[in-house]
Structure 1
């Protein structure tokens, strides 16, 4: 069985980790109001939701899990988590 081999197992783990990262980023983007994106000086909420939603859909489609487009969307999800989300979290009322 191919999944029991080390490369198959590593590929499966990477697939699910990236799926979880993209799902978390998408849900996080949906949770913040559109005004928060403007106040933080970041790209708009519909823009981030569209990009992260496409990233999630491309991760689930089994056609080409390691394509250049999927890689670009993966980078976009990491950019959101590293740059946009902390800026949005800094705007929360206390």
Structure 2
């Protein structure tokens, strides 16, 4: 394997790693949202998205080396995570309660 092959392998690995991180981010965000926000926003239920993103995260992990059983499923995993992050997440965001963090006041100046 020459230098070009090594660079291709590194880019491929980084691509699959980015897909895995994207799936984990979507799954963690989903777990933080209340279940009643999904039907209120006109989206599928939280359990539906939990199943989709759980399988997508698992498949994106399996697609990474050294397992690399079904590498094309990493792309499908990315599609599932992107659909959640671009469509569902903004729709359910208004229904999520925000906790005041340190330094935030509850009102006034």
Query: TM-score normalised by the shorter chain: which range applies?
Result: 0.7 to 0.9
Paired positions, count: 92
Larger fraction in helix: 1
1:74 partnered with 2:74: no
Cα distance between partner residues in 2 of 1:19 and 1:71: 10
Where does residue 51 of structure 1 map in the other structure?
Answer: 52
Where does residue 64 of structure 1 map in the other structure?
Answer: 70
Larger Rg: 2
What's the TM-score once normalised by structure 2's chain length?
A: 0.75
CA deviation vs aligned residue, 1:22-54 (integer Å, no higher than 9, x gap):
000011111111100011110000000000000
CA deviation vs aligned residue, 1:32-84 (integer Å, no higher than 9, x gap):
111000111100000000000000001111311224xx433321110000010
RMSD of the TM alignment (CA)?
2.1
* Structure 2 residue runs without a partner (length 5+): 99-109
Cα distance between partner residues in 2 of 1:93 and 1:77: 23
What's the TM-score once normalised by structure 1's chain length?
A: 0.85
* Structure 1 residue runs without a partner (length 5+): none
Q: Give secondary structure in 2 for the equivalent of 1:41.
A: coil
